[in-house]
Amino acid sequence: MPARSPRVFLSAGEPSGDLHGGPVVRELRTLLPGIAIDALGGKGIAAAGATIRYPMERYSAFGLVEVLGSIPAHLRLLRTLTNEFRAGVYDLALLIDYPGFNVRVAEAAHRHGVRVLYYVAPQLWAWRPGRARRLAGAVDRLAAVLPFEPAFFARHGIRAEYVGHPLLDRPPLPARRAACDALGIGPDERVLGLFPGSRVQETSRLWGPFREAALRLLRDGRCDRVVVAGTPTGSYPGAEPFLLHRGAPERVFAASSAALAKSGTTTLEAALADLPMVVAYRVHPLTSVMARWLITVPWISLVNLVADAGVVDELTQGAVTPDRLVESVAPLLDPDHQKTRTQREGLRLVRDRLNGGGAAGRVAAMAAELLG
């Protein structure tokens, strides 16, 4: 009897994981045309050819407190997957980010002899380095997307490889003139870009201070236009004086002179666009209290972590006020200001350290190797 085609379970429980997972699915299907890929994921992974058994919208949550309400659904899914791993349904678990759930999936798969490849490493270096020992006992290979991660995981017995950041594989941004033309902005206008996030929890906490700071900068003549990088369904009350762009954010990155940005991958996107920024981070107060006990790194933004220096201003929790935002971002709207020039030097260092694309192809090759 011929051997059956390999079968993979891919777990990506958030929009960013879905975005990164789609290219990996395409590369895997090219390497192994007969492969079957079932997934917890979204539209990106589905469009690439995977079968979505569990739509990620049912499980996504943000923040330690907000996650509590999604625990029962995650536990039911984990039990289902554990039974399938035990029954030999899958040959490989390909897990993308989403560590609160995916580390447990990794442990269940490993316990029943299923190979495990983790893509976009859990940020254990930021929270609890000691937990790397737990991960070491559950994964076969780890595909890291930040250049400092392999050395950290190697110290904890995990075979990790820097595959490049998936942002580097996106099409290049449009030229500023083309982006401004598309948005109806004059080429000489000073443009403040607002990136309040895609999750409801992010937007609800950042939009108010972002909006007030932008209104002050407009009123005082510190900028000429404000463009909001919105989502198709996001709510932005009081945005009437601004240009609300609900499409892909690339045009906003390209057209902006400076930005107010939520913490996360957005900061790396801005760095790749050479866009000076101020980074803001606000979560539930209880989440913040717990985070102060857990965080072990000096910065919250990926830009500063990659540079290993304070390249961009970071404002958190109670410091995310209109006054502080205006004070931090106003100088960056002037391309000749020393703060702008200094930050751009730091952003260049970040781009140099992220150098190299092809992440999806490398991850697919690692998966094929594990599948034999």
| Interatomic CA distance for residues 347 and 185, integer angstroms | 25
Both 154 and 193 in one domain: the answer is no
Both 205 and 57 in one domain: the answer is no
Look up the CATH number of the domain holding residue 135: 3.40.50.2000
In this prediction, residue 357 has a pLDDT band, given cuts at 50, 70 and 90, of confident
Q: How many other CB atoms are there within 10 angstroms of residue 80's CB atom?
A: 12
Both 70 and 192 in one domain: the answer is no
Q: What is the pLDDT of residue 65?
A: 45
Determine how β-strand 51-55 pairs with β-strand 92-96: unpaired
In this prediction, residue 200 has a pLDDT band, given cuts at 50, 70 and 90, of confident
The single residue listed with the structure tokens 């085609």 is 5
Both 124 and 223 in one domain: the answer is no
In this prediction, residue 285 has a pLDDT band, given cuts at 50, 70 and 90, of low
In this prediction, residue 297 has a pLDDT band, given cuts at 50, 70 and 90, of low
Q: Using the predicted structure, report yes or no on whether residue 99 has a pLDDT greater than 80.
A: yes
Q: Using the predicted structure, report yes or no on whether residue 155 has a pLDDT greater than 90.
A: no
Q: Among 16-25, 67-76, 357-366, where is mean pLDDT lowest?
A: 67-76
Q: What is the pLDDT of residue 288?
A: 47
The single residue listed with the structure tokens 């109806």 is 184
Residues with Cβ within 8 Å of residue 313, at least 6 apart in sequence = 278, 279, 328
169 falls within a domain? no
Tokens of 32: 């192994």
Both 198 and 284 in one domain: the answer is yes
pTM of the model: 0.82
Q: Using the predicted structure, report yes or no on whether residue 119 has a pLDDT greater than 90.
A: yes
170 falls within a domain? no
Both 200 and 348 in one domain: the answer is yes
Both 248 and 290 in one domain: the answer is yes
220 falls within a domain? yes
80 falls within a domain? yes
Both 187 and 113 in one domain: the answer is no
Q: What is the pLDDT of residue 68?
A: 55
Both 49 and 121 in one domain: the answer is yes
Q: What is the pLDDT of residue 293?
A: 44
What's the alpha-carbon Rg for the chain, to the nearest Å? 21
Total domain count for the chain?
2
Percent with pLDDT over 70 in the chain: 90
In this prediction, residue 81 has a pLDDT band, given cuts at 50, 70 and 90, of very high
Q: Which domain holds residue 320?
A: 176-353
Both 158 and 203 in one domain: the answer is no
In the 3-class helix/strand/coil scheme, how is the chain assigned residue by residue? CCCCCCEEEEECCCHHHHHHHHHHHHHHHHHCCCCEEEEEECHHHHHHCCEEEEEHHHCCCCCHHHHHHHHHHHHHHHHHHHHHHHCCCCCEEEEECCHHHHHHHHHHHHHCCCEEEEECCCCCCCCCHHHHHHHHCCCCEEEECCCCHHHHHHCCCCCEEECCCHHHHCCCCCCHHHHHHHHCCCCCCCEEEEECCCCHHHHHHHHHHHHHHHHHHHHCCCCCEEEEECCCCCCCCCCCCCEEECCCCHHHHHHCCEEEEECCHHHHHHHHCCCCEEEEECCCHHHHHHHHHHCCCCCCCHHHHHHCCCCCEEEEHHHCCHHHHHHHHHHHHCCCCHHHHHHHHHHHHHHHHCCCCCHHHHHHHHHHHHHC
30 falls within a domain? yes
Both 205 and 346 in one domain: the answer is yes
| Interatomic CA distance for residues 81 and 98, integer angstroms | 16
2 falls within a domain? no
171 falls within a domain? no
Question: What's the pLDDT tens digit per position in 303-330?
Answer: 999 999 999 999 988 899 999 999 999 9
Both 259 and 312 in one domain: the answer is yes
319 falls within a domain? yes
Beta bridge partners of 54: 40
Q: What is the pLDDT of residue 126?
A: 57
